[in-house]
A and B are shown apart, each in its own frame.
Chain A
Amino acid sequence: MIQNDMSRRRLLGLGLGIGAAASLTLAGCGGGDSTSGPAAGNGGKEYTGPKVDLKLWNGFTGGDGDIFKALVNQFNTEHKNIAVSVATYQWEDYYNKLPGAASSGNGPDIAVMHMDQLATFAARGVITELDDVAKNLELSEGDFAPTVWKGGIYNNKRYGIPLDMHPLGFYYNKTVMQKAGLDPNKPPTTKDEYTSALVELKKAGVQGFWVSPFQFTGGMTFYSLLNQWGATLFDAEVAKATFNSDPAVEACTWLVDMIKQGYSPANVGQDADYLSFKSGKNAFTWNGIWQINDLKKSPEVKWGVAPLPQIGSKPSAWANSHNFTIVKQRANDANKVSGAKVFINWLSQHSLDWAKGGQIPARKEVREGAEFKALPEISSLAPELEYAAFPPAAPGLGEVMTTFYNSFNEAALGKKSPKQALDDGVSKANKQLEDNRKKYGS
């Protein structure tokens, strides 16, 4: 299953794209001076060439989409010779649609993409290298979190400029904690604190940690724990799956035992972990940063959010990141590429507004500014950037990740023991990785 942003949005991803194509080329753009100078190929510092129209595609179907469009509007009014228009699709459709559109010449110029998709699209020649953007804008690892910055690289070339990152956070329901006599302002941070909190909750008649068998968000919780236990999903070359190692099995066992020991009900349905949290039947849920804005819409729920508790031997959290990419065009228009680079640079500098959409900005200067710190919930998850576990860059990894999540599903639903489920998953994942090696020649 392709990782996309919101489980609620996945529900209708039945191949019926909600093509909310919003053309934002404002009527006030006519005043641009049409001096056809040479294209300034300076990697996104500025653009002085003739007027270009750029198409941008993204999958921001929620409230984040409106914030994004407002930013694009602002960009268009500030840049008379670049007009960016935005089209929004469901992430699921988006990744199915993009390759075909790009190869038939109907694709966008700029595509927003999750980090774990970059390698696949780079290997398939859909997107271009952006090393010169990074160099000319003097962007370096120092400006970004290293985890995010490295994720944009495939085969030693840069394909994505990171916009943000969105990790898993630890949400706690203060009302439920109070009911069980726990301090609602001191969420558990260690394994001992976590389990003793669950024991107290159980005494008060609450199953405090609903473990979902689905990727959203039980699978992502397991992904985080596996990394906390010091295990990895794949070896360094992404040639072999390793998620059946002993620490991985231990992490899986710990999580599945939550169900066995009655801290979680069995057979938690899709989204039931989150809905029960909101309705006060559940105390803790490990869920995406994007739920912050959703929870803010329910003032009756008293909640807090913190970095994930450290259950294993080191801190870690599932995370993904949105990256800007430039789509290869059949008619390579240098002006368009230059314009696109200017846009990417501008938006990455304005990513503070983007943070209000429920994301952690990738740029350090934005992250360390006072304005970002004034967004308490979102900035409280910023420390996770340092140890976030991003999926590795390998083409065709999507289907292998699906295998991983399905293995956890079998373990969480009691179909197989954790060891059996992960062993079976690994043997299938290895075959898939081998198929991918043949296919992409990596």
Chain B
Amino acid sequence: MADVIEVGAARGDAPPPAATAARRGASARRTGRATPYLFLAPYLVLFGVFGLLPIILGLWLSVHQWDFQLPNRPFVGLDNYKELFSSDSAVYGDWWESIRATAIFTVLSVPLLVVVPLGLALLLNRSFPGRTFFRAIYFAPYVLGVAVIGLLWRFLLDANLGLVNRLLGAVGLPSDTPWVTNMPWAWISLVGVTVWWTSGFNAVIYLAGLQDISPELYEAARMDGASAWQRFRNVTLPGLRPVLLFVITTTVLASANMFGQSFLITQGTPGTETRTVVWFIVEEGLRNNNAGRAAAMSIVFALLLAVVSIANFRLFRYRED
């Protein structure tokens, strides 16, 4: 792959200074063929080394029992894939439990992460005193690392010592809610913390999108006597369509790849109910040294996400028709 590019690059030597127009034309044609490849080369090299090659290696790993420390890494064909789907293997239960956990988290968090930031953006798009300050405040949690917010919320949400339960108790609500250790509270906490943490990012993207919508359209809508809701429905939403598609797609992928929050806040409890797919893949591949199995899981998971993303794009295309 990269070799081909090198050949192309080698051919694209700078042409000698042209003496005549004819020669200049000829050399321009010759460079003309190589130029696009030259421009593409840096990206293609990076993509080849860090994108394509790992994918091919991953496929290669997934058909072996691969422990890079053991001398023999036997070829096992599709066994790594089969055991993900055969209920008597050691990994079957954990694997589908992690898929379930990821699905629950994605289904619960994506709608909130799409709608809440949109509301925020609409508010922050109006002009009022202190607007910049509020924009900064809502964006602030996003700059913190997952380790920081994980630790912070785990202590705040502790069932017996946490501030959250103490405050709830002070206003007469139940003060022994197991926010991070039992169901359904664990999911509520994970989703809530994630919304608090990442809403600011989506809100900023929405804000940029809102500012791209031409004010004339709103003016015209007002002239026609459109209510605020109608203006939102017929001007704002269609204007935001590409931004919405981007936000939904990236948010679905981000939620499906959730790892840090459950690793730190619930630690997978109760049992391993909140252990996500990515966490489980890391555990299998890096800690239990079953790289072959982990690679098979990654590929199955990537295919699942691809299906979801394609469905997502389709859905939006339909609405345009």
Residues on A lying within 8 angstroms of B by beta carbon are 2, 11-12, 14-16, 95-96, 99-100, 103, 124-126, 210, 213-214, 265-270, 272, 275-276, 279, 281, 396, 398-399, 406, 409-410, 413-416, 428, 431-432, 434-435, 439-440
What is the CB-to-nearest-CB distance from A214 to chain B, in angstroms, rounded to a whole number?
A: 7
CB pair B65–A14 under 8 Å, yes or no, is no
**Cβ-defined contact, A16 with B161, below 8 A:** no
From B127-135, B260-268, B311-319, give the one contacting chain A. B260-268
Q: Contact: B269 with A213, CB < 8 Å?
A: yes
**Chain B residues within 8 Å of A, Cβ to Cβ:** 65, 67-71, 88-90, 93-94, 146-147, 151, 154, 158-162, 176, 178, 180-182, 260, 263-264, 267-272, 282-283, 286-289
Extra A-B contacts (16), CB below 8 Å, given A14-B264, A269-B160, A409-B270 = A12-B151, A96-B287, A99-B289, A213-B270, A266-B178, A267-B176, A268-B159, A269-B159, A269-B161, A272-B161, A281-B160, A406-B271, A409-B271, A413-B181, A414-B182, A415-B270
Which residue on A lies nearest to B70, using beta carbons?
A124
Whether A410 and B271, one on each chain, are in contact in the complex, defined by CB atoms closer than 8 angstroms, is yes
**A260: min CB distance to chain B, Å:** 15
Main secondary structure of the interface of B (DSSP, over half): loop
Which residues of the partner chain B approach A396 to less than 8 Å between Cβ atoms? 288-289
Check A270 against B154 for contact (C-beta < 8 Å): yes
A213–B271 Cα distance when bound, in Å, is 9
Q: Is B272 touching A398 in the complex (CB atoms < 8 A)? A: no
CB distance from A91 to the nearest CB of B (A): 12
Residues on the B chain within 8 Å of A126, using CB: 69
Give Cα distance in the complex from A78 to B93, angstroms. Answer: 56
Instruction: Please tell me which one of the listed residues A95, A100, A432 contacts residue B90 in the complex, with CB atoms under 8 A apart.
Output: A432
Of the candidates A11, A281, A399, which one forms a contact with B264 in the assembled complex, judged by CB atoms under 8 Å apart?
A: A11
A413 touches B161 (CB 8 A): no
Contact (Cβ within 8 A) A269 B90: no
A432 to B161 Cα, complex, angstroms: 37
Chain A residues in 8 Å Cβ range of B270? 213, 409-410, 413, 415
Contact flag A214-B69 (CB < 8 Å), given A266-B178, A428-B93 = no
Of B68, B146, B161, B176, most buried by chain A (CB within 10 Å of CB) is B161
**B287 and A269 form a contact (CB under 8 A):** no
Pick from B93, B182, B263, B271: contact of A14, CB below 8 A.
B263
Q: Which residues of B contact A415 (CB under 8 A)?
A: 182, 270-271
Contact A265/B67 with A398-B288, A413-B269, A432-B90 known, Cβ cut-off 8 Å:
no
Known contacts A406-B272, A415-B271, A439-B70; decide if A269 and B288 are in contact (CB<8 Å): no
Contact A399-B287, Cβ < 8 Å, known A268-B159, A413-B269: yes
- Jot down 12 A-B pairs with beta carbons below 8 A, ordered by A: A11-B147, A14-B147, A16-B147, A99-B69, A266-B159, A267-B182, A269-B159, A275-B161, A398-B287, A399-B287, A413-B178, A435-B90
Kindly state the separation between the CA atoms of A328 and B90 in the bound complex, as whole angstroms.
32
Residue among B65, B147, B181, B267 making CB contact with A439, cutoff 8 Å: B65
CA distance A327 to B160 in the complex (A): 45
Residues of chain B with a CB closer than 8 A to A434's CB? 90
C-alpha spacing A12/B90, complex, angstroms:
29
A280 to chain B, nearest CB (A): 12
Contact A409 B147 (CB under 8 A): no
Residue in chain B with minimal CB distance to A95? B287
Q: How far is the CA of A434 from the CA of B176 in the complex (A)?
A: 42
